[in-house]
């Protein structure tokens, strides 16, 4: 059985939990609190030298970090990955965009605010992350204006990956009111079979 090292409020962990649930794959959850340094212990660093969750332990294979590598591994050959090669590339395009443009801004601000860091304390960093986070939301909104899902006209890993932090962007101080296409897309995702909220399994 898979073993998942994770922290429930993590959007990166949520991507993996949602895929496991929607593909009905059983797993054991090992919860680690990233706020207390649990992912920086010598024991955890031996499993993932990059010191991050989510981390998937695959029996007989080893430890696999990086949320997008994990979900691509779990979903290979399933309905969550487009069959067409170009649409599969489109799915990866969005997953790369998420890790480079969206997550470092929206997820990081959300994490900082959850840790109790303040606007005054964050200063220029907050201004920059706000600007870059809204720029990512602008790109996402434009792309969703004329499509229901991000790749191949179907619900895929791309939607799961982008939804994870976008739907909790308000917890990072982002206002989704000016983004009607994003809000409609989030609602479509929340109507998928076996959808579950971020901190529920």
Query: Which spans of this chain sit near its own copies (rule: CB under 8 A)?
Result: 49-50, 58, 61-62, 64-70, 72-73, 76, 85-86, 88-90, 92-93, 95-97, 99-101, 103-104, 139, 142-143
Report, in Å, the least distance between residue 11 CB and its own copies: 13
Residue 201 carries which DSSP code? -
139 or 187: whose CB is closer to its own copies?
A: 139
Min CB(76)–its own copies separation in Å: 6
Q: How far apart are CA 111 and CA 39, in angstroms?
A: 15
Q: How far is the CB of 20 from its own copies (least distance, A)?
A: 15
Task: Please give the DSSP secondary-structure letter assigned to residue 154.
Answer: B
Please say which residue, 86 or 195, places its beta carbon nearer to its own copies. Answer: 86
- Can you name the residues that pair with 57 across neighbouring β-strands? 3, 63
Question: Shortest gap between Cβ of 72 and its own copies (angstroms)?
Answer: 6
Spatial contact of 5 and 50, defined as CB atoms under 8 Å apart: no
Judge contact between 21 and 201, C-beta under 8 A: yes
**Nearer to its own copies among residue 88 and residue 167 (C-beta):** 88
The CA distances from residue 178 to 1, 51, 132, in Å, are 43, 36, 16
Shortest CB 41 distance to its own copies, Å: 16
Nearer to its own copies, 41 or 192 (CB): 41
Dihedral sign, CA of 9, 150, 177, 107? positive
Q: Which is nearer to its own copies, 65 or 172 (CB)?
A: 65
Could you tell me if 135 and 128 are in contact, meaning their C-beta atoms sit under 8 angstroms apart? no
């Amino acid at each position: 059985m898979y073993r998942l090292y994770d922290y429930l409020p993590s959007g990166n962990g949520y991507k993996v939990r949602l895929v496991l649930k929607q593909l009905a794959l059983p797993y054991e959850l090992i919860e680690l609190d990233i706020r207390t340094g649990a992912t920086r212990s010598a024991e955890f660093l031996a499993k993932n030298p990059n010191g991050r969750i989510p981390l998937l332990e695959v029996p007989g294979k080893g430890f696999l970090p990086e949320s997008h590598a994990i979900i691509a591994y779990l979903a290979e050959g399933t309905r969550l990955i487009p069959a067409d090669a170009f649409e599969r590339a489109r799915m990866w395009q969005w997953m790369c965009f998420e890790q480079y443009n969206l997550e470092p801004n929206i997820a990081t601000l959300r994490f900082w605010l959850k840790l109790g860091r303040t606007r005054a304390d964050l200063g220029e960093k907050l201004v920059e992350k706000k600007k870059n986070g809204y720029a990512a939301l602008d790109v996402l909104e434009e792309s969703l204006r004329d499509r229901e899902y991000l790749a191949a006209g179907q619900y895929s890993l791309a939607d799961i990956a982008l939804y994870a932090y976008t739907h909790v962007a308000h917890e990072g101080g982002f206002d989704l009111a000016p983004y009607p296409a994003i809000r409609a897309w989030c609602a479509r995702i929340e109507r998928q079979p076996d959808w579950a909220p971020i901190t529920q399994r």
